[in-house]
């Protein structure tokens, strides 16, 4: 199992195609300039030791050496063994509403980004607890199965968007149904489901489903995002706003937070409804509840004993640079005798 410590240095690899372009331009310029002053066949007789192949090979060695040095900067690491680790924690599943109404900007920067901030900050405060993420709109989608990898959870979270769910709407019951499959540890007594939404749900059976899930031992908390005054839903193409969503009559749609729906779900599941317009409030409440919950022991497998591997890439990089230094542009006598690059056959 490999891990890259400093992936940002991979951007430096853009130097290589740029150097190739420069080399090809210089090569073309040399040939074009030489053709103005003399015939190319005559130039080969005047300078019989010149070798275009070796010039290209020399540049190739330089580029390979640079590539290895750049990779060494990223400090690749390898996990040498897979071991089972016993940890204590609870299972926390976040159900994130990604319907288009969550793009309303009545809460800065918009409802969806505010919801992501709440989830991310809550994850950062968790200890060894396992985390899973569900996204939903008209239907639900498992964004991340339950895991102890909090860094992966935050990474997947940032990609959550309305385009990832095929059907639009706000069907919280779909998220509740999917959440049943997330808690795969039958011995886990503390299971949490955190629903984050603006509450625009129109399914009558949602409360009953929440109560059924609570009967199975899942504690449900809901977090409301948005204002009750509401706001329009912006429409964008390639990041540029082209207007606001309109109904069939041509009037601008105003989406409002509906706390009663979220309060009803929380009450049906003996949970709690939390106002999420101020990021820190739900983060603190949820974090405190989870921190005080009884922790169950579970096993997880993970790679351990990661060791640095940069020295291999550094060594190969220096080797190719040394070869480049001692590789001459012109033919050497022994190369001419053995015709290493088949240049004489090419001429014939």
For 2-58, the pLDDT digits (tens) are: 678 888 889 999 999 999 999 899 888 877 776 776 666 665 665 555 666 777 888
Ranges of each domain in the chain: 2-75+309-347, 85-301
- Whole-angstrom Cα distance, residue 157 to residue 152? 8
Residue position matching structure tokens 């310029």 = 29
Contact 279, 114 (CB under 8 A): yes
pLDDT of amino acid 309: 83
User: Mean of the per-residue pLDDT values for the chain?
Assistant: 84
For 253-310, the pLDDT digits (tens) are: 999 999 998 999 999 998 999 999 999 999 999 999 999 988 877 666 555 566 788 8
Angle at 229 between CA 226 and CA 232, to 5 degrees: 75
Nearest to 88 by CA among 37, 34, 127: 127
Check whether 348 has a pLDDT greater than 80. Answer: no
- Whole-angstrom Cα distance, residue 170 to residue 148? 28
pLDDT band at 334 (very low <50, low <70, confident <90, very high): very low
pLDDT band at 329 (very low <50, low <70, confident <90, very high): low
Asked whether the CA dihedral 282, 123, 171, 138 is positive or negative, the reply is positive
Nearest to 170 by CA among 247, 49, 262, 289: 262
Cβ neighbours of residue 6 under 8 Å, at least 6 residues apart?
73, 74, 75
Helix (H, G, I), strand (E, B) or coil at 229: coil
Cα–Cα distance list, 49 to 45, 326, 335 (Å): 9, 16, 10
Cβ neighbours of residue 154 under 8 Å, at least 6 residues apart?
120, 123, 124
Cα–Cα distance list, 271 to 39, 57, 91, 179, 214 (Å): 88, 69, 16, 16, 9
Mean per-residue pLDDT for 337-345? 52
pLDDT of amino acid 230: 93
Distance between start and end Cα atoms, the chain? 52
- Whole-angstrom Cα distance, residue 200 to residue 210? 16
Contact 195, 282 (CB under 8 A): no
Backbone φ, ψ for residue 137 (5° rounding): -145, -105
Which has the higher per-residue pLDDT, 202 or 247? Answer: 247
- Whole-angstrom Cα distance, residue 190 to residue 90? 6
Say if strands 2-4 and 76-89 run parallel, antiparallel, or are unpaired.
antiparallel
CATH architecture of 85-301: 3-Layer(aba) Sandwich (3.40)
pLDDT band at 76 (very low <50, low <70, confident <90, very high): confident
- Buried b / exposed e over 204-215, threshold 16 CB at 10 Å, is eebbebbebbbe
pLDDT band at 98 (very low <50, low <70, confident <90, very high): very high
The token pair at 141 is 């989608």
Total residue length of the chain: 348
Mean per-residue pLDDT for 215-228? 93
Check whether 99 has a pLDDT greater than 70. Answer: yes
The token pair at 234 is 């912006």
Q: Per the confidence metrics, is the pTM higher than 0.75?
A: no
Is-cis flag, bond preceding 26, omega within 30? no
């Amino acid at each position: 199992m490999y891990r890259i410590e400093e992936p940002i240095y991979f951007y430096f690899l853009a130097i290589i195609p740029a150097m190739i372009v420069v080399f090809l331009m210089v090569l073309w310029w040399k040939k074009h300039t030489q053709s103005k002053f003399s015939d190319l066949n005559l130039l080969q007789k005047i300078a019989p030791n010149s070798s275009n192949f070796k010039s290209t090979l020399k540049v190739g060695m330089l580029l390979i050496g640079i590539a290895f040095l750049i990779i060494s900067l990223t400090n690749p690491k390898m996990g040498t063994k897979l071991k089972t680790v016993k940890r204590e924690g609870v299972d926390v599943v976040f159900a994130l509403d990604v319907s288009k109404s969550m793009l309303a900007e009545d809460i800065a920067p918009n409802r969806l980004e505010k919801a992501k901030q709440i989830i991310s900050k809550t994850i950062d405060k968790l200890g060894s607890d396992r985390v899973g993420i569900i996204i939903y709109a008209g239907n639900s989608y498992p964004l991340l199965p339950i895991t102890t990898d909090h860094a992966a959870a935050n990474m997947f979270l940032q990609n959550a968007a309305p385009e990832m769910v095929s059907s639009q709407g706000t069907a919280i019951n779909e998220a509740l149904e999917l959440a049943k499959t997330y808690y795969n540890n039958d011995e886990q007594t503390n299971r949490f489901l955190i629903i984050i939404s603006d509450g625009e749900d129109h399914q009558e059976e949602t409360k009953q489903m929440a109560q059924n899930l609570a009967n199975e031992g899942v504690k449900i908390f809901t977090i409301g995002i948005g204002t009750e005054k509401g706001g329009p839903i912006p429409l964008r193409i390639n990041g540029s706003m082209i207007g606001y969503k309109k109904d069939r009559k041509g009037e601008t749609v105003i989406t409002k937070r509906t706390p009663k729906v979220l309060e009803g779900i929380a009450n049906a599941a003996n949970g709690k409804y939390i106002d999420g317009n101020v990021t820190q409030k739900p983060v603190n409440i949820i974090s405190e509840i989870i921190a005080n919950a009884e922790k169950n022991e579970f096993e997880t497998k993970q790679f351990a004993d990661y060791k640095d591997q940069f020295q291999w890439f550094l060594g190969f990089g220096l080797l190719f640079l040394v070869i480049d230094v001692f590789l001459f542009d012109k033919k050497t006598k022994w190369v001419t005798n053995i015709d290493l690059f088949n240049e004489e056959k090419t001429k014939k």
